[in-house]
Chain A
Amino acid sequence: MAEHVQKEPLSFREIFIRYGAVIALAGLILFNALITKNFLSLNTLWLVIKQATPILFMTVGMTFVISSGGIDISTGSMMAFCGIIVSLGITNGGNFIFWCIVGLVACGAIGVFNGWLIASVGVQPVILTLVMQIVMRGITVLMAKSSVFVLGGFPEVKTLGLYRFPGRVPIQIIFFVLIILAGVFVLWKTLLGKYVEAVGSNPKAARLTGVRTVAVIIGVYMISAILAGSCGILEMCRNAALDPNELGKLYELDAIAGVAVGGTSMKGGKANVVGSIAGCLIMVLIGTTVNMNGIPFAASNIIKAGIIIFALAIQRERSV
Chain B
Amino acid sequence: MENQVLLEMKQISKTFPGVKALKNVHFKVHKGEVMAFMGENGAGKSTLIKIITGYYRRDPGEGQFLFDGKEVNPRNTDEAQKLGISTIFQELNLSPFLSVAENIYIGNTPKKHGMIDWDTMNQNAKKALLDLGVDIDVTAQLSQQSTAIQQMVSIARALARNTKLLIMDEATSSLDTGEVKVLFDVVKTLKSRGIATIFVTHKMDEIYQVCDSATIFKDGEYVDCLPLSQLPKLKLISLMIGRDASELVNKRKVYDPDKGKAEIICRVVGVQKANHRLNGINLEIHKGEVLGLSGLLGSGRTETAKVIFGDDVHYDGEVYMGQTAIRFKCPADAMKKGLAFCSEDRKAEGIFPYMSVQDNLTMTILSKISRFGILNKREQQKRTLEYIQKIAIKTPGPSTKIKDLSGGNQQKVILSRWLATHPDLIILDEPTRGIDVGAKGEIEDLIKQISDSGISVLYISSELDELVRECDRIVILHNGKNVGELRNEEISSDAIMGVIAHGRIDT
A binds B: yes
List chain A positions with a Cβ less than 8 A from chain B: 1-8, 189-195, 197-198, 201-202, 204-212, 214, 265, 269-270, 320
Known: A207-B331, A211-B363. Contact between A2 and B355, CB under 8 A?
A: no
Complex formed: what's the CA distance from A320 to B348 in Å? Answer: 20
Q: Is the CB of B354 within 8 A of A270?
A: yes
Across the two chains, which residue of chain A brings its CB closest to B346?
A205
**Distance to closest chain B CB from A270 (angstroms):** 6
Q: Is the CB of B406 within 8 A of A198?
A: no
Residue among B16, B39, B46 making CB contact with A6, cutoff 8 Å: B16
Most buried by A among B349, B352, B364, B407: B352
Known: A1-B41, A2-B45, A4-B21. Contact between A194 and B311, CB under 8 A?
A: no
Q: Is the CB of B41 within 8 A of A2?
A: yes
Complex formed: what's the CA distance from A206 to B170 in Å? Answer: 27
Residue among A6, A191, A201, A210 making CB contact with B335, cutoff 8 Å: A210
Complex formed: what's the CA distance from A320 to B363 in Å? Answer: 30
Interface hits, B323-381 → A, CB 8 Å? 330-332, 335, 341, 343, 348-355, 359, 363-364, 366-367, 370, 373-375
Q: Is the CB of A2 within 8 A of B374?
A: no
Known: A3-B406, A191-B374, A201-B353. Contact between A210 and B19, CB under 8 A?
A: no
**Distance to closest chain B CB from A269 (angstroms):** 6
**Distance to closest chain B CB from A164 (angstroms):** 36
Across the two chains, which residue of chain A brings its CB closest to B41?
A2
Complex formed: what's the CA distance from A192 to B16 in Å? Answer: 38
Q: Hey, which chain B residues are within 8 Å of A2, CB to CB?
A: 39, 41-47
Taking the complex as formed, is B83 at the interface, i.e. its CB lies under 8 A from any CB of chain A?
Answer: no
Taking the complex as formed, is B114 at the interface, i.e. its CB lies under 8 A from any CB of chain A?
Answer: no
Q: Hey, which chain B residues are within 8 Å of A189, CB to CB?
A: 374-375
Most buried by B among A3, A190, A192, A265: A3
Interface hits, B12-67 → A, CB 8 Å? 16-19, 21, 39, 41-47, 55-56
Count of residues in B whose CB is under 8 Å from the partner chain: 51
Most buried by B among A204, A208, A269: A208
Q: Is the CB of A4 within 8 A of B353?
A: no
Taking the complex as formed, is B292 at the interface, i.e. its CB lies under 8 A from any CB of chain A?
Answer: no
**Distance to closest chain B CB from A203 (angstroms):** 10
Taking the complex as formed, is B440 at the interface, i.e. its CB lies under 8 A from any CB of chain A?
Answer: no
Most buried by A among B47, B169, B332: B332
Across the two chains, which residue of chain A brings its CB closest to B339?
A210
Residue among B373, B374, B406 making CB contact with A5, cutoff 8 Å: B406
List chain B positions with a Cβ less than 8 A from chain A: 16-19, 21, 39, 41-47, 55-56, 169-170, 200, 309, 311, 330-332, 335, 341, 343, 348-355, 359, 363-364, 366-367, 370, 373-375, 396, 403-407, 417, 434
**Distance to closest chain B CB from A294 (angstroms):** 44
Most buried by B among A195, A202, A209: A209
Across the two chains, which residue of chain A brings its CB closest to B403?
A3
Q: Is the CB of B17 within 8 A of A8?
A: yes
**Distance to closest chain B CB from A184 (angstroms):** 13
Q: Is the CB of A212 within 8 A of B330?
A: yes
**Distance to closest chain A CB from B13 (angstroms):** 14
Q: Is the CB of B16 within 8 A of A190?
A: no
**Distance to closest chain A CB from B19 (angstroms):** 5
Complex formed: what's the CA distance from A283 to B373 in Å? Answer: 33
Complex formed: what's the CA distance from A198 to B309 in Å? Answer: 20
**Distance to closest chain B CB from A181 (angstroms):** 14
Complex formed: what's the CA distance from A210 to B337 in Å? Answer: 12
Q: Hey, which chain B residues are within 8 Å of A206, CB to CB?
A: 352, 363
Q: Hey, which chain A residues are within 8 Å of B351, CB to CB?
A: 202, 205
5 A-B residue pairs with CB within 8 Å: A2-B39, A5-B405, A6-B18, A195-B366, A202-B348
Q: Hey, which chain A residues are within 8 Å of B404, CB to CB?
A: 3, 5-6
Residue among B21, B331, B405 making CB contact with A210, cutoff 8 Å: B331
Q: Is the CB of B374 within 8 A of A1?
A: no
Q: Hey, which chain B residues are within 8 Å of A7, CB to CB?
A: 18, 396
Known: A1-B41, A4-B42, A191-B367. Contact between A201 and B354, CB under 8 A?
A: yes
Q: Hey, which chain A residues are within 8 Å of B403, CB to CB?
A: 3
Across the two chains, which residue of chain A brings its CB closest to B311?
A208
Given contacts A2-B43, A4-B21, A210-B364, 8 further A-B contacts (CB under 8 A): A2-B41, A191-B375, A194-B359, A197-B352, A204-B348, A206-B363, A212-B330, A269-B353
Most buried by B among A2, A5, A191, A265: A2
**Distance to closest chain B CB from A271 (angstroms):** 11
Q: Is the CB of A212 within 8 A of B396?
A: no
Q: Is the CB of B370 within 8 A of A205?
A: no
Q: Is the CB of B353 within 8 A of A202?
A: yes
Q: Is the CB of A209 within 8 A of B363?
A: yes
Q: Hey, which chain B residues are within 8 Å of A194, CB to CB?
A: 359, 363, 366, 375
Residue among A1, A6, A197, A209 making CB contact with B45, cutoff 8 Å: A1
Across the two chains, which residue of chain B brings its CB closest to A197?
B355
Q: Hey, which chain B residues are within 8 Å of A190, CB to CB?
A: 370, 373-375
Complex formed: what's the CA distance from A207 to B350 in Å? Answer: 10
